[in-house]
Amino acid sequence: MTSGPETISMVSLITGINGFVGFWLSQFLVGRGDKVVGISRKKNNRKQKVKVYQADVVDQGRIFQIIKETKPNRIFHLAAQSNIPHSFTNPQETFKTNINGTINILETLRVQKRKTVFVSVGSSGEYGEIASKDHFLSETSPLSPSSPYGVSKAVQGYLNGLYTRSYNLNAVHVRPFAIIGPGKTKDAISDFARGIAAIEKGKAKTLLVGNTNHIRDFLDVRDATVALDLISENGKSGEIYNVCRGQGVKLEEALEILINLSKVKIKIKKDKNKIRPSDNPIIVGNPQKLISLGFRPKIKLEQTLKEILDYWREK
């Protein structure tokens, strides 16, 4: 799925560039020589060697003009309303951003007749409740999303496939699992690390945790950016790819690693407010399709956890 001679600088457009994955992906692509442009709903405050357009993906006219002006060889569509609890309280906003935002880009590529590689970024949340029955989720596993967010991402994937078949667009859909790393917030791992850092600084006495029996498929964000790049270059148009390691790790195990890295003794306390009744107990992906493209994760979980803890120590 390459777009043009290697001697010509690749133009990569990232929606949601100021988000967690967007930031790391932009750094990776700049490092390999791409001309990177981004779209962000909020004003750009990050130090990046990229041009960032302040725009909302739901603004069809603005998206049309940005793509017309930048002429990207590939688009990584990361912009989304990705907060699962918020998707229950405000499903309208979730569907508007995740579904309409995707349609706006697909329609622009269709109307402008561009050969741009479009990487639609979905979620392992599309599998939902099926994860409790299928403990090694492949791209052909049935979808049974358990949140409005998961539903919106499943629809995004269906739209991507429909536009690919109907209009011969050069597009793939990816389903990332538990992508973690320095800079991520509002997930269990970052909450653990942030809490430990607070205890080390004397700002807290105990670490409040939710259900630590859940099993997740963790992948370092830097490995994930390599995977996204690889899929954009070698993935088959119309296909779906899991972005994962393929190994389940209990949250309790990850917490134990972080505690062992702590400079002080950590006292743990269960907090029922941190337990989500809709959480799936196990979500592990099958990475074979991604491996067939040549992907091999390089960063071990222990290294990632150490760097996450150091990030919060500095914060």
Buried/exposed 277-288: b ≥16 CB within 10 Å, e otherwise? eeebebbbbbbe
Tokens of 280: 């799936």
Confidence label for 264 from pLDDT (cuts 50, 70 and 90): very high
* Residue with more model confidence, 277 or 107: 107
Tokens of 292: 């067939």
Pairing, β 35-40 against β 215-216: unpaired
188-215+248-283+301-314: CATH superfamily? UDP-galactose 4-epimerase, domain 1 (3.90.25.10)
Check pLDDT > 60 for residue 89.
yes
Instruction: List the alpha helices (DSSP H) in 175-241.
Output: 188-200, 221-234
Tokens of 302: 């222990």
* CATH 3.90.25.10, the chain: domain bounds: 188-215+248-283+301-314
Confidence label for 4 from pLDDT (cuts 50, 70 and 90): very low
Q: What is the pLDDT of residue 1?
A: 59
Confidence label for 5 from pLDDT (cuts 50, 70 and 90): very low
What are the helix and strand counts (H, E) for the chain?
11, 14
* CATH 3.40.50.720, the chain: domain bounds: 11-180+218-246+286-291
Q: Which fold has domain 11-180+218-246+286-291?
A: Rossmann fold (3.40.50)
Confidence label for 216 from pLDDT (cuts 50, 70 and 90): very high
The whole model's pTM is what?
0.94
- Give the gyration radius of the chain's Cα atoms: 19
For 301, the enclosing helix (H) or strand (E) is helix 301-314
Tokens of 91: 């499903």
Confidence label for 278 from pLDDT (cuts 50, 70 and 90): low
Least confident of 129-138, 147-156, 192-201: 129-138
End-to-end Cα spacing for the chain: 40
Q: What is the pLDDT of residue 111?
A: 98
